[in-house]
């Protein structure tokens, strides 16, 4: 097969050594071209061009942001999406059951490509941009913004940097006195401080622990929208502690949970921050969400090489 390997060499877990190993393994049975990104949006341009040239598989090797750009570039085409973890958290790759080490994960990916094991999956879309696993609005996005302002430290500090950013944003950087936006589904409206729109679960990982907000968030169902209608420490901690135990957040007076969402609008007169698959995109006054079934073909990672049945 013709394969394009899109590498973000600035991602936390990408090194010159493991890039060589990954390229060598994939090239064992396939025609592999490798390109490196150097700015935001670059991976999407590479992916668009690959679709035009009839490439069979485009692989995002970097963080979740790189993967998002590749998925956006090939969505709606016959080109398949390959996933290889190279960031600090790698939510989508781990959701698929891949190891967090790219050298180990490339075996899973190569087995899937070798078997041509491709599966059509749904993606979320917000203001025309696709997302693989979630979009965060409000507090969550403010934390990501703070982390990205110290992007040079992200490669080395990882999760401790996110914890520091979360605490700092909570204490000094986010208004918890009044709602930040309205969440609208058909004629139903709620005020929110913090919303997460999920395409998969878990929402993220804290070390090796998945933060499971909703088991209803899967690649073959509609979106799940979870909104905090109160912004108190008790509300946040009780929900997130429960999510760490597994099975999703529990019903509560401070939560609005919507499952199998096809369309959703979040808006306010005053701009609010948002992030897509861990990539802060600034502030806006309106977000329009839709679920897009069968948006992209995914290379299904396989832990073992596929075996060809012996003719009988």
Map 113-141 to HEC letters: HHCCCEEEEEEEEECCEEECCEEEEEHHH
223-228 vs 2-7, strand pairing mode: unpaired
Extents of the domains making up the chain: 2-126+295-299, 130-292
The domain 2-126+295-299 is classified under which CATH number: 3.90.75.20, 1.10.10.10, 3.30.365.10, 3.40.50.10330? 3.40.50.10330
Dist CA 131 CA 94 (whole Å): 16
* DSSP run (H or E) holding 51: helix 42-52
CATH topology of domain 130-292: Tumour Suppressor Smad4 (2.60.200)
Q: What is the pLDDT of residue 164?
A: 56
In order along its 312 residues, the chain shows pLDDT tens digits of: 999 999 999 998 999 999 999 999 999 999 999 999 998 899 999 999 999 999 999 999 999 999 999 999 999 999 999 999 999 889 999 999 999 999 999 999 999 999 998 999 999 999 999 999 999 999 888 888 777 665 555 544 455 666 656 667 766 767 778 889 999 999 999 999 999 999 999 998 877 889 899 999 999 999 999 999 987 777 777 787 777 777 888 878 899 999 999 999 999 999 999 999 988 899 999 999 999 999 999 999 999 987 654 343
Query: Given this model, what pLDDT does residue 311 score?
Result: 43
Task: Kindly provide the residue ranges of all beta strands, DSSP E only, lying in the chain, ordered along the sequence.
Answer: 2-7, 31-36, 57-62, 80-85, 118-126, 129-131, 134-138, 181-185, 188-192, 194-198, 204-206, 209-211, 223-228, 255-261, 263-276, 279-299
- Can you say how many angstroms the Cα of residue 147 is from the centroid of all Cα atoms in its chain? 16
Give the span between the Cα atoms of 11 and 64, in whole angstroms: 10
**What is the pLDDT, as a whole number, of residue 308?**
54
Q: How far apart are CA 184 and CA 192, in angstroms?
A: 10
Query: What pLDDT is recorded for position 244?
Result: 75
Q: Are 114 and 305 in contact (CB under 8 A)?
A: yes
Tell me, what's the pLDDT at 118?
96
Report residue 136 as tokens.
């965060």
Cα–Cα distances in angstroms (integers) from residue 128 to residues 28, 101, 125, 184, in the given order: 37, 32, 6, 18
With contact defined as beta carbons under 8 Å apart, do 56 and 3 qualify?
Answer: yes
Q: Do residues 224 and 257 make contact, with C-beta atoms less than 8 angstroms apart?
A: yes
pLDDT at 176: 76
- Look at residue 260 and give its three-state secondary structure: strand
Global pTM reads: 0.89
**How much is the pLDDT for 241?**
75
- For residue 191, the model assigns a pLDDT of 95
Domains 2-126+295-299 and 130-292 share a fold: no
């Amino acid at each position: 097969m013709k394969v394009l390997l899109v590498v973000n060499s600035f991602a936390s877990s990408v090194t010159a050594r493991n890039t060589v190993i990954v390229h060598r393994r994939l090239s064992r049975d396939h025609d592999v071209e490798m390109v490196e990104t150097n700015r935001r949006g670059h991976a999407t341009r590479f992916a668009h061009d690959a679709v035009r040239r009839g490439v069979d598989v485009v692989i995002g090797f970097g963080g979740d942001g790189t993967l998002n750009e590749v998925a956006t570039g090939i969505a709606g085409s016959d080109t398949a999406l390959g996933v290889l973890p190279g960031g600090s958290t790698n939510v989508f790759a781990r959701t698929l059951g891949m190891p967090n080490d790219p050298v180990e994960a490339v075996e899973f990916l190569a087995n899937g490509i070798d078997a041509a094991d491709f599966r059509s999956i749904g993606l979320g879309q917000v203001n025309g941009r696709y997302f693989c696993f979630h979009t965060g609005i409000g507090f969550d996005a403010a934390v990501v913004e703070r982390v990205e302002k110290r992007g040079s430290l992200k490669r080395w500090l990882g999760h401790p940097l996110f914890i520091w950013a979360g605490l700092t944003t909570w204490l000094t950087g986010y208004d918890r006195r009044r709602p930040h936006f309205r969440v609208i589904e058909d004629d139903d409206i709620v005020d929110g401080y913090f919303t997460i729109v999920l395409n998969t679960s878990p929402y993220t990982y804290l070390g090796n622990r998945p933060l499971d907000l909703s088991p209803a968030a899967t690649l073959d169902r509609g979106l799940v929208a979870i909104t905090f209608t109160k912004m108190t420490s008790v509300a946040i901690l009780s929900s997130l502690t429960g999510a760490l135990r597994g099975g999703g957040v529990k019903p509560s007076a401070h939560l609005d949970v919507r499952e199998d969402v096809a369309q959703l609008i979040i808006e306010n007169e005053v701009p609010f921050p948002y992030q897509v698959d861990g990539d802060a995109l600034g502030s806006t006054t309106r977000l329009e969400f839709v679920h897009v079934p069968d948006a992209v073909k995914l290379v299904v990672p396989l832990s073992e090489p596929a075996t060809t049945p012996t003719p009988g």
